[in-house]
Structure 1
């Protein structure tokens, strides 16, 4: 098992398939993009499947989430999903995506064994979408959402980041829209993971603000803490339920004590925390002929050194060198 010195066990693996993205979200990267990883640096399809197999068979991982960048840009995505779904024991498989292109492959991903998707959408207004992402692709995201729901990739979860003065007035409208379409909405506090290092705590729309805005239109009752488990989102029943809304408050309400996640970057580095400044290189071992057991042991050692928390409340906190797009959400 992947156990750390604070008694936490990592059973949830986030696997980044690429650092590339077809949007340029203002809170993530500059308009011109970033220096992408060169192809030889990125794990091959076979290497990704092997790493997932090691995590599942040797280390007790039960949940695997494919992320990016934008994972739909990975040419071998459907095949990777199919091969991981064939593992014994079979992990639950999900995908975090911006939804562009999902309409074309949603059914194929479901047939390959994908269980569900998380899709990012910060606004219902096409013009605001362009302001946030620098792309005119709002209609493609909506089409991807509809296709995911129709394909049975449920529950379809929608992740929204609110930026002050840009889309922070949309919280109730986003929830009303999600309820009507049978999507589960989760608001995410903006995190210090942008490539520009322009994040400021004072500019962030907090969980408390989001909940106040939602409560002006909806009756919210907190879900029992026992139901949450290690999930990052605190959830509330909306108007008595069964519909729910979640808030991932990594900054103002950190959930590090219950963290059950481990991360693998597209270039084969293990990260113990989204905000970690250190990584453990497994790609070199993988390509040097190391056995599954040796790689698993290196992974265990890395996780044993996991820190107690993200350090966001420490005045000396420094953003990790890699931005979110290069880490994997």
Structure 2
């Protein structure tokens, strides 16, 4: 993975985010982060985590060269959090967030909006972020869980933004990646990621190296190239570069699931990494 990342950075990739599963349960994750940090030209290195093990690793991760962490947090109610995460400990997550902040890591919160669950905690999450100086990013519930995706659980983020604007005065900030960002008068930053109601395919420059070692042009696409197979087969850096270019040209202009090209029941985030 480090060699592939080095080749990708040589082609112009400037930001790498390590996702999962849960990256912090992997043995050697700190050394892996340090290896990525050693790539010349890489400008930003972050991870996405559930935060459970963050408290014990935040210092080592910072010293290894990590820039930031995105913590998945869908509820600030301990019991609701336990139900959503199937047994998770909210206290450990908050402890990890505070430890990461204390170590000087950039922290963002990712909240998937689910009708009847996290949608009722929007203001509580915003205030949690404002107090700590954390950007809170609201994400639409995506059809990436096979048959587990339910339309009745989906809420377009435009509805959430309207609710927020009834309480706070917002002003637009420079977009970051796929997130539309807003400052809150008096302090605080929030973001909205709308892959379902307002797909951003035309402006998306992301590639995804899956948990199985395949490279995909889009989170919603089944198109992929076996990168690990090429590396094990002795492919040169030049050959890997050519494959990366080819996958970039494969990027869809529209969400493959929403346009009917892909069957949502066959798209599983756990097989991709996210």
Normalising to structure 2: TM-score of the pair?
0.94
Q: Paired residues, what number?
A: 274
Equivalent residue for 1:190, pick from 133, 137, 141: 141
The 3-state SS of whatever aligns with 1:161 is: strand
The 3-state SS of whatever aligns with 1:228 is: coil
Give the aligned partner of residue 234 of structure 1.
Answer: 180
Confirm or deny that 1:131 pairs with 2:83: yes
**Structure 2 stretches lacking a partner, 5+ long:** none
Equivalent residue for 2:166, pick from 210, 216, 220: 216
The 3-state SS of whatever aligns with 2:69 is: strand
Q: How does 1:1-329 map to 2 (within 5 A)?
A: 48-57=1-10, 59-154=11-106, 156-195=107-146, 197-223=147-173, 227-228=174-175, 231-239=177-185, 241=187, 243-315=188-260, 317-319=262-264, 321-329=266-274
The CA deviation at 1:75 is 0.8
Question: Does 1 or 2 have the higher relative contact order (CA < 8 Å, sep 6+)?
Answer: 1
Residue-by-residue CA offset, 1:112-150 (whole Å, 9 max, x unaligned): 000111111011100000111111411111111111111
**Structure 1 stretches lacking a partner, 5+ long:** 1-47
Mapped partners of 2:30, 2:104: distance in 1: 16
The CA deviation at 1:168 is 1.5
Asked if 1 retains the 8 angstrom alpha-carbon contact of 2:46 and 2:68, the reply is yes
Judging by fraction of residues, say which structure has more helix: 2
Mapped partners of 1:316, 1:264: distance in 2: 21
Normalising to structure 1: TM-score of the pair?
0.79
The CA deviation at 1:84 is 1.2
